[in-house]
Chains A and B, each alone.
Chain A
Amino acid sequence: MTKNILFGLIVATAAIFSMIYFSVGLYVQAGIALIAGIFWLSLEIRERQSFPTTFFLLFVGLVVVGALNRVMVLLLLAGLCAAIAAWDLSRFIARTRDKVEAEMKAVLEARHLQKLLVVTGLGFVIALPPTVVNLSLNFLTLAVLTLVMLLMLRASLLYLRRDDKGEN
């Protein structure tokens, strides 16, 4: 069942992005999304899950390009959530293949799918309100915000690295 859901998600991701870009006249992006989707799907069908992260990054890039081109943000969000879920499921299938017994696999898959549905659904729902909120920021606030973000990024990376060393 998980595999079918994964196939469905890849098809949905590719379809959403190609439709979006096709509708706004960005044919190159539409073609890339379609080809990437087909390629990813064919690899998954052949159980060669070597590059799911590459495809995921490609679709995130397409999302950003779409956002910069002021394409419909709701559809972009839906496409992004589908890409996240497809990427996650692809990794999940790869790491559980041949390692989990059938009975346990059913339990593990059911729990994973439930949690993934909640997480991606929650991500989509939480992202909806900001799409209608308009904020006006002056340059100084923006600069401070950027600085804070950079500091947070640095602090979080340092924390994670320290934590990782502690575990080892």
Chain B
Amino acid sequence: MKLTLFLVIGLIFAIVILGLASLQRDVLVLAIPLIVYLFAAIAQRPDELNLKVTREVSPDYAPQGTPITVRLTVLNQGAAIDELTIQDILPDGVRKLDGKSSATGYLESQGIIELEYTIEAIRGEYRAYETHVYARDFLNFFETPHIYRTSPRLLIHPRYPKLNRIKIRPPQTRGFAGPISARQGGTGIDFWTVREYQSGDPQRQINWKLAARSDHELFTNIFEQERVADVGIILDSRERVNVVTDQGSLFEFGVRAAASLAENFLDDGNRVSLLIYGSGLGRVFPGYGRFQRERILKALSRARPEVNFALETLTNLPTRFFPVKSQIVLISPLIPEDIPVVALMRSHGYSVIVISPDPISYEAGIDGDFSSQAYRIAYAERDLMLRQIRYTGAQVINWRVDQPLEMAIGVALSRQPAALHNIRGGKP
């Protein structure tokens, strides 16, 4: 119901009452065009809307930043509508790039209005879309609003950088050939040890130099087996460790790092699993290859930092979700309460790499304030915490997110030789 309708009604009655009061026929007559105008609007008032709204989103699974085409079709299954306005409401996190997401027009019975536009969405899962429809009479006195909801799925996974191969040495490997040294003699490339020749050993593995120095004895070179390993990636999605600024969220860096690492380890043939800890326990069970990568990316697309009071600390981390003595990569900004949990994982025999997006420098970087007393105190506290975690035998990568992850990993892992971590891992 519009204000103009009340205006016209008011005018009609004002003129009629004035005409009656002044006893002038001519004044009364003037109300007639307005009355006809009003009755035309009433006669053309839109009925109950009977529209069928369908939406197609293509592609429905894409990396962040990919242009997505949305096609909205509105079919009128009722009577003709003089003026119909369609407004497609974009969900939060979606930006229109091109095309029209709203239209106004006349829609005859069984007529169709199609909208096609291109959007760009940030990482996430989009399921609920709203289309606001307003049907009006041709004089715009009456308006029937309606909201149509459609739910085609759109999954936007993070866009992530490719990493060079990361060398890991978990205490235990799997049976299949791969790139990770297995600490077992067998076929491989790297020299492992020598033993006495046994019948059946291939001649090309005989160590002739050693044989020349001994009496009638032959020795065989043994190489270190190279296998694939189990790698578990833990992404910390606790709201309390996340830092949100106008320019984004620290959690997004963690998500991208998890995606990069998952792809890197899968490309090496490893069996990779994912645990998203914080908002709940989102799990992707161990698996290999391209399909596993898709499963992990889909899980990462849905990940969001949330408050869950049961998972405020890492104490409830189900470490047994990961195979014994496997490689664990924990991606978390970390808080001091997390130190015992990392120590516990180490004591269970896991090889642990902690990639910690640095919340202190991230927050300070917004204002460019790296010299304040507060920053220095916070940085010292964090440095102490990371030292304590390193002392447990975990490899710690303090990642300043303004630098590429590749560089942070390269620098940190070169500083902490794997041997140190292997010794502390309990198996020489």
Contact = CB atoms under 8 A, between A and B. Distances in A.
Query: Do A and B belong to a common assembly?
Result: yes
B34 interface: yes
A122 B140 CA distance: 19
Interface string B29-41: 1101111110010
A130 to B, nearest CB: 5
A149 interface: yes
A127 B33 CA distance: 7
Nearest to A131: B29
Contacts of A161: 1
B26 A119 contact: no
A1 interface: no
Contact of A67 (B7, B23, B30, B34): B30
Contacts of A67: 24, 26-27, 29-30
Interface stretch (B11-19, B120-128, B282-290): B11-19
A149 B16 contact: yes
B18 A64 contact: yes
B370 to A, nearest CB: 48
A77 B17 contact: no
Interface string A97-126: 001110010011001100110111011101
B6 A160 contact: yes
A39 interface: no
Contacts of A100: 103-105
Contacts of A84: 33-34, 37
B61 interface: no
B16 to A, nearest CB: 6
B5 interface: yes
A131 B15 CA distance: 15
Contact of B26 (A73, A81, A95, A152): A73
Contact of A156 (B9, B29, B34): B9
Given A70-B26, A123-B33, A130-B25, A91 B17 contact: no
Interface residues of A, number: 57
A117 B103 CA distance: 25
A146 B21 contact: yes
Interface in A113-168: 115-116, 118-120, 122-124, 126-127, 130-131, 133-135, 137, 142, 145-146, 149-150, 152-153, 156-157, 160-161, 163-164, 167
B4 interface: yes
B140 A91 contact: yes
B80 to A, nearest CB: 10
Given A99-B85, A146-B17, A119 B30 contact: no
A6 B393 CA distance: 82
A163 B1 contact: yes
Contacts of A133: 25
Contacts of A127: 29-30, 32-33
A153 B14 CA distance: 10
A9 to B, nearest CB: 14
B28 interface: yes
The secondary structure that dominates the A interface is: helix
Given A84-B33, A123-B33, A157-B6, A104 B106 contact: yes
A124 B33 contact: yes
Interface in B65-97: 82-83, 85
Interface string B108-150: 0000000000000000000000000000001110001100000
A80 interface: yes
Contacts of A167: 1, 144-145
A108 B106 contact: yes
Nearest to A135: B25
Contact of B4 (A53, A77, A142): A53
B22 interface: yes
A111 B25 CA distance: 34
A80 B20 CA distance: 19
A165 to B, nearest CB: 9
Given A84-B34, A123-B35, 12 more contacts: A70-B24, A73-B30, A99-B85, A108-B104, A108-B105, A111-B138, A115-B82, A119-B36, A119-B40, A127-B30, A130-B32, A152-B13
Interface of B: 1, 4-7, 9, 11, 13, 15-18, 20-30, 32-37, 40, 44, 82-83, 85, 100, 102-106, 138-140, 144-145
Interface of A: 53, 57, 60, 63-64, 67-68, 70, 73, 76-77, 80-81, 84, 88, 91-92, 95-96, 99-101, 104, 107-108, 111-112, 115-116, 118-120, 122-124, 126-127, 130-131, 133-135, 137, 142, 145-146, 149-150, 152-153, 156-157, 160-161, 163-164, 167
3 cross-chain pairs, A with B, having the tightest CB-CB distances, nearest first:
A123-B33, A123-B36, A127-B32
29 contacts: A53-B7, A63-B30, A64-B15, A64-B30, A68-B24, A73-B29, A76-B30, A77-B30, A80-B34, A84-B33, A84-B37, A96-B104, A99-B103, A100-B104, A100-B105, A108-B104, A108-B105, A111-B82, A111-B138, A119-B139, A122-B36, A123-B32, A123-B33, A130-B28, A142-B23, A146-B20, A152-B13, A153-B13, A164-B1
